[in-house]
Amino acid sequence: MSTIVTIAGSPSVNSSTDALLSYVSRRITGAGHTVLPVVIRDLPAQALLSADVNDSAIAEAVEAVDAADAVVVVSPVYKAAYSGLLKVFLDLLPQRAFRGKAVLPLVTGGSPAHVLAVDYALRPVLTSLGADHVGQGWFVLSSHIRVYPDGGVLIDPASAGPVAEVTENFLAALARHSPVQLPPGPRRVSPVAGDPDLSVLYVEPGDPELAPLLDDLSVEYTTRYGRVSAYTQLTEVPVTDFLPPDGAFLVLTENGETVAGGAIRRYDDATAEVKRVWTSSRHRRRGLGRRLMAELERAALDLGYRRIHLTTGPRQPEATKLYLASGYQARFDVTADPETIGPLAFAKELVPGAGLADWEQPEREPETVGAGR
Ligand SMILES: Cc1cc2nc3c(=O)[nH]c(=O)nc-3n(C[C@H](O)[C@H](O)[C@H](O)COP(=O)(O)O)c2cc1C
């Protein structure tokens, strides 16, 4: 069973948000997990405001977050966003404090006009803290929360159903994440043929070498598709899909810098799906995209796959060019306007030992970011 830290961001002593959290916490403990509450307003104000992580209460809260398997973050909507109190606490956490964890965001508010605060305001911050999986959150109207003198909480059925559902989904995601809690295996590093400065590093979700890739993809997807598009979702695939024995996440590093990366996961018994293909904006037009694709194909062969399937978005023409240049067959009408198609699918049959010669003399293809979503 898992330990789940709850971070309560309401400054109110008689808090609707806390009542919602107690309702959710009961469901979580009922499923056999341990809940460790962090109530931010109970932390010493001076230490909180000066981000004094040496203060014993602050240190204890930070350690609880670090040791937790998952986190529930709750806040009232204040001025169309989450509370400043919550932000003060999140700001003193380490940059990747939520790495390897599933996170459930919940907010309460007085007006349905701010129902999107959970996705527009809170979610990006949780993602930036390295959360592996930020599940669907929920906004609950404060008028839907009733607290009885004995501490009992009644949630209006209009909100209780969705809250129960997102909590169940969160617990299911937590169960899928449990392999991440195993001790990490040895990290595989191998040189790239023909380029002594480049290495291929097999990483795990949450490793710091992945941070530039994930941060940049998040910005790129949002820039190209807007915040609420399906194309912007980096959390729709459980990160455990990218772990052996069915998957792999690898990056190309150059003198310690992550310059490119991508992942594979199981599509079917014989087919791997490529995801998260990325090249650093400072290292494009060097052929790194094709090197990366060759490495991903080798990784797929090593895992026993015989073909690759992938999709990219309609607003990533450079990704389409990379895949065509790398020998992938387009599974759509390449003459049609990509916006009228949606996700663009590609496939390639893998031949053991073939294609790797591409590494020796990579062509200067238009390098890409955000491909193989
Ligand atoms: C300073 C302040 C600002 C608020 N701003 C908003 C807002 O912008 N949008 C909204 O829907 N509710 C707003 N509310 C209402 C609260 O979000 C709502 O009552 C919430 O459930 C309070 O939670 P609490 O009892 O934990 O404090 C605001 C309340 C306060 C006190």
Q: Is the pLDDT of residue 176 over 70?
A: no
Ligand 1 contact, 78 CB (< 6 A): yes
Please check whether residue 66 is in contact with residue 112, taking contact to mean a CB–CB distance below 8 angstroms.
no
Same domain? For 252 and 350 the reply is: yes
Contact between 344 and 338 under an 8 Å Cβ cutoff? The reply is: yes
Q: What is the pLDDT at residue 245?
A: 85
**303 CB neighbour count, 10 Å cutoff:** 16
Backbone φ and ψ of 318, nearest 5°: -70, -30
The Cβ of residue 362 has, within 10 Å, a number of other Cβ atoms equal to 18
Mutation pick for ligand 1 pocket among 12, 78, 147 (CB with most ligand atoms within 8 Å):
78
Q: Give 162: exposed, middle or buried? Use CB within 10 Å, 0-12, 13-18, 19+.
A: middle
Q: Number of folded domains in the chain?
A: 2
Spatial contact of 348 and 308, defined as CB atoms under 8 Å apart:
yes
Q: Are residues 85 and 34 in the same domain?
A: yes
User: Is there a single domain that holds both residue 232 and residue 134?
Assistant: no
pLDDT at 177 (0 to 100): 61
Atom 18 of ligand 1: nearest residue by CA position = 109
Element at 164 (helix H, strand E): helix 157-177
Range of the domain at 256: 189-371
Residues 219 and 175 both lie in one domain: no
Two tokens at 113?
């006009």
At 300-340, the pLDDT tens digits run 998 999 999 999 988 888 899 999 999 999 999 989 898 88
How confident is the model at residue 233, as a pLDDT?
59
Tell me how far the alpha carbon of residue 110 lies from the centroid of ligand 1, in angstroms: 6
Angle at 283 between CA 280 and CA 289, to 5 degrees: 75
Q: What distance in Å separates the CA atoms of residue 180 and residue 163, rounded to the nearest whole number? A: 26
Cis ω for the linkage preceding 37 (within 30 of 0): no
User: If you average pLDDT over residues 106-130, what whole number do you get?
Assistant: 94
* pLDDT above 90 as % of the chain: 57
- Beta strand extents in 88-229 (DSSP E only): 102-109, 133-134, 138-141, 145-147, 153-155, 189-192, 195-203
CA of residue 45 to ligand 1 center, whole Å = 21
The 10s digit of each residue's pLDDT in 242-288 is 888 899 999 999 988 999 999 999 999 899 999 999 998 888 888 99
Tokens found for residue 346: 């590609």
The finding on whether 22 has its CB within 6 A of some atom of ligand 1 is no
Q: Is the pLDDT of residue 364 over 50?
A: no
Mutating to test ligand 1, I would choose from 77, 114, 140 the residue with most ligand atoms within 8 A of its C-beta, which is 77
Domain of 25, CATH number, reads 3.40.50.360
**Residue-level pLDDT at 361:** 44
Give the pLDDT score at 353. Answer: 64
Tell me the mean pLDDT in the region 102-124. 94
Poorest-confidence range of 213-227, 235-249, 287-301? 213-227
Considering the domain architecture, whether residues 173 and 193 belong to the same structural domain is answered as: no
Q: Is the CB of 3 under 6 A from ligand 1?
A: no
Q: Would you tell me how many other CB atoms lie within 10 Å of the CB of residue 318?
A: 17
Domain endpoint, select from 150, 180, 210? 180
Cα–ligand 1 centroid distance for 114 (angstroms):
10
Whether residue 7 is found in the same domain as residue 84: yes
* Same domain for 120 and 193: no
pLDDT of residue 363: 47
Domain boundary among 180, 213, 241: 180
What CATH number is attached to the domain comprising 224? 3.40.630.30
Distance from C-alpha of 111 to C-alpha of 76, rounded to nearest angstrom: 11
**Which atom in ligand 1 lies closest to the alpha carbon of residue 111?**
11
Residue with CA at minimum distance from ligand 1 atom 19:
110
Q: How far is the CA of 108 from the centre of ligand 1 (A)?
A: 7
Residues 124 and 47 grouped into a single domain: yes
| Amino acid in the structure at residue 290 | R
Query: What is the distance between the alpha carbons of residues 6 and 4, in angstroms, rounded to a whole number?
Result: 6
Longest dimension (CA), the chain: 74
Please determine, for residue 7, whether its predicted confidence score (pLDDT) is greater than 90.
yes
Torsion angles phi and psi, residue 236, rounded to 5: -75, -20
What was the pLDDT predicted at 182?
36
- Residue 178's pLDDT band, with cuts at 50, 70 and 90, is low
Beta partners for 108? Answer: 76, 140
Query: How far is C-alpha 302 from the geometric centre of its chain's CA atoms?
Result: 26
Q: Does residue 84 have its Cβ closer than 6 Å to ligand 1?
A: no
d(CA 162, CA 91): 29
Asked if 124 and 80 sit in the same domain, the reply is yes
User: What is the predicted pLDDT for the residue at 261?
Assistant: 94
Q: How confident is the prediction for the chain on average, in pLDDT?
A: 86
- Can you tell me the mean pLDDT for 209-222? 77
Which of 130, 153, 180 terminates a domain? The answer is 180
Q: Are 244 and 300 in contact (CB under 8 A)?
A: no
Q: What percentage of the chain has pLDDT greater than the value 70?
A: 87
Regarding the beta carbon of 357 and ligand 1, being less than 6 Å apart is answered no
| Residue 220 CA, ligand 1 centroid: distance in Å | 32
Tell how many helices (H) and how many strands (E) occur in the chain. Answer: 10, 17
Q: Burial of 357 by CB count in 10 Å (0-12 exposed, 13-18 middle, 19+ buried)?
A: exposed
The CA 24 to ligand 1 mean position distance, Å, reads 20
Q: Are 209 and 203 in contact (CB under 8 A)?
A: yes
- CA–centroid distance, 331 to ligand 1, in Å, is 49
**How far apart are the C-alpha atoms of 355 and 49, rounded to whole Å?**
56
pLDDT over 70 at 57, yes or no = yes
Structure tokens given for 300: 């797929």
Same domain, 14 and 138: yes
User: pLDDT per residue over 63-110, tens digit each?
Assistant: 999 999 999 999 999 999 999 999 999 999 998 899 889 999 999 999
* H or E segment to which residue 323 belongs: helix 317-325
Decide whether any atom of ligand 1 lies within 6 Å of the 12 Cβ.
Answer: yes
pLDDT at 205 over 50: yes
Distances (CA, A) of 215 to 17, 71, 104: 30, 20, 20
User: 């994930």: which residue's tokens?
Assistant: 214
Do 169 and 227 have their domain in common?
Answer: no
Same domain, 148 and 275: no
β-pairing, 133-134 vs 307-312, is unpaired
